[in-house]
Amino acid sequence: DADVTQTPRNRITKTGKRIMLECSQTKGHDRMYWYRQDPGLGLRLIYYSFDVKDINKGEISDGYSVSRQAQAKFSLSLESAIPNQTALYFCATSDGRDTQYFGPGTRLTVL
Amino acid sequence: AQSVTQPDIHITVSEGASLELRCNYSYGATPYLFWYVQSPGQGLQLLLKYFSGDTLVQGIKGFEAEFKRSQSSFNLRKPSVHWSDAAEYFCAVGPFSGGYNKLIFGAGTRLAVHP
């Protein structure tokens, strides 16, 4: 089984809809991250969390919110989706020392 | 401000040829440097990392990278490319400010391998 899982893997939605992307991990890491990937831009950090009570904005948090329901779960929400939020979204975890471990990604399309 | 530049958006090599992917960074101190690979439809997998010590770092799948402080570079190399190496490669810098493990990624280099 994968250490970091993301659901759904693909989602098509309409402008204005609320969307939640979910991430679960079995690595026992405290730190979790949400990134979005756009062609030619690499990965950009949306939010990160160092434990259940610690949530921090990344470089592109506008239009997004997160919830850390448990050590193993970190959800990303788009309250009112817009087309320029069409992207590939990655969740990652870390034990805080060095390496980040990535999930398989969620491809989101906003029409 | 910290940044990572991967000058080559696309690279095409023949199977069996050598490969070098370029990465330059801007960072105020000695950075932590990473190379990740993303195969089609997959998440990112760590190839190798540099924290300190020997500036030539060995990674998985036969890859290596060399940290050159004077050139602010961390280029990825492989002596003989296999068709399965076709993927997108990302260089990343880890500013570990206060223990906060936040990565800054380059835009990526997409590698195509001709048979």
Q: Which of residues 62-101 of A touch B (CB under 8 A)?
A: 90, 92, 94, 96-101
Of residues A57 and B42, more confidence is placed in A57
Contact A3, A100 (CB under 8 A): no
User: For residue A21, which amino acid is it?
Assistant: L
Of A43, A45, A50, the CB nearest to B90: A43
Contact A81, A14 (CB under 8 A): yes
Residue-by-residue pLDDT tens, chain B, 115 positions: 778 999 999 999 999 999 999 999 988 777 889 999 999 878 899 999 998 888 999 999 999 999 999 999 999 999 999 999 999 999 998 865 555 567 889 999 999 999 8
Q: Provide the token pair at B40.
A: 């089609």
Secondary structure (DSSP) of chain A: --SEEEE-SEEEE-TT--EEEEEEE-S--SEEEEEEEETTTEEEEEEEEEETTEEEE-TT-TT-EEEEEETTEEEEEESS--GGG-EEEEEEEE-SSS-EEE---EEEEE-
Rg (CA), chain B: 14
Q: Provide the token pair at A74.
A: 């970190």
Of B6, B36, B101, the CB nearest to A31: B101
Asked if A45 lies within 8 A of B41 by C-beta distance, the reply is no
Task: Locate the chain B residue with the closest alpha carbon to A48.
Answer: B102
Q: According to the model, what pLDDT value does residue B96 have?
A: 58
- A·B CB contacts under 8 A: 55
Q: Which of residues 9-68 of A touch B (CB under 8 A)?
A: 31, 33, 35, 40-45, 48, 50, 58
Asked if A42 lies within 8 A of B100 by C-beta distance, the reply is no
User: What letters, b where the CB count within 10 A reaches 16 and e where it falls short, cover B72-95?
Assistant: ebbbbebeebeeebbbbbbbbbbb
Q: According to the model, what pLDDT value does residue B101 have?
A: 64
Q: According to the model, what pLDDT value does residue B102 have?
A: 75
Asked if B101 lies within 8 A of A41 by C-beta distance, the reply is no
Residue in A19, A17, A52 with CA at minimum distance from that of residue A36: A19
Q: According to the model, what pLDDT value does residue A107 have?
A: 95
pLDDT tens string A15-50: 999 999 999 999 999 999 999 999 888 899 999 998
pLDDT tens string A62-88: 999 999 999 999 999 999 999 999 999
Q: According to the model, what pLDDT value does residue A99 have?
A: 80
